[in-house]
Structure 1
Amino acid sequence: LGRHALDDSAAQKKLYGNYGVTYDINLQIENPTAEKKNVKVLFEASAGLASGVFIIDGKFVMAKYAMPPNEVPLASYDLGPGETRKVRIITVPLAGSNYPATVVVRT
């Protein structure tokens, strides 16, 4: 999130930190194994002190402030063998946070 500053074409300048930008992320997570797995969605402060506000599958989630390389849990999903699930994440950069930041998905 926020790795590259976007251009504000109306003001002819860069939007460093990408404040005001809405990220709409659609994930497909899957469990290709024969065992039940727990998949976690995490917020990682990648560039310094950062926090985030998220809507994940329609639920409001506030990530507490973290320093790199710390991660903050956002959501968790139990997937059965061979199960696939779609996850929608909407977020905006939070003022006072140092971006870029990373959304991590792993078991």
Structure 2
Amino acid sequence: MADGFTADLHQIRAHADRIDAAQHQLATIRAASAAITEDHAAYGRLCAWISGVLEHRHVRQGELLAYVEENLRLAADTLISTGQAYASADGAAADRIRRAGQI
């Protein structure tokens, strides 16, 4: 089509899967960060004071990661919905063509 475009459903789904994987990795990072923040012995006895200094930064970092996670989840959900809409439209068009050929 000169004026149209094509959408590869496999690529859309693969992209959604990659975004979903990135979102899960961020969730893992955020959980590890929270564990360190809550464990005052994480830095050892000599550097235990670091936990208190970094706690505020860890909290803010966790908030930012949660925000990014949410946006990635929304992007993946939208891509999945878009892929389903394309598949539905393609199926409906194919059905119309089949029915037209039977007349």
Greater per-residue strand proportion? 1
TM-score in terms of structure 1 length:
0.23
Greater Rg over alpha carbons, structure? 2
Higher helix fraction: Structure 1 or Structure 2?
2
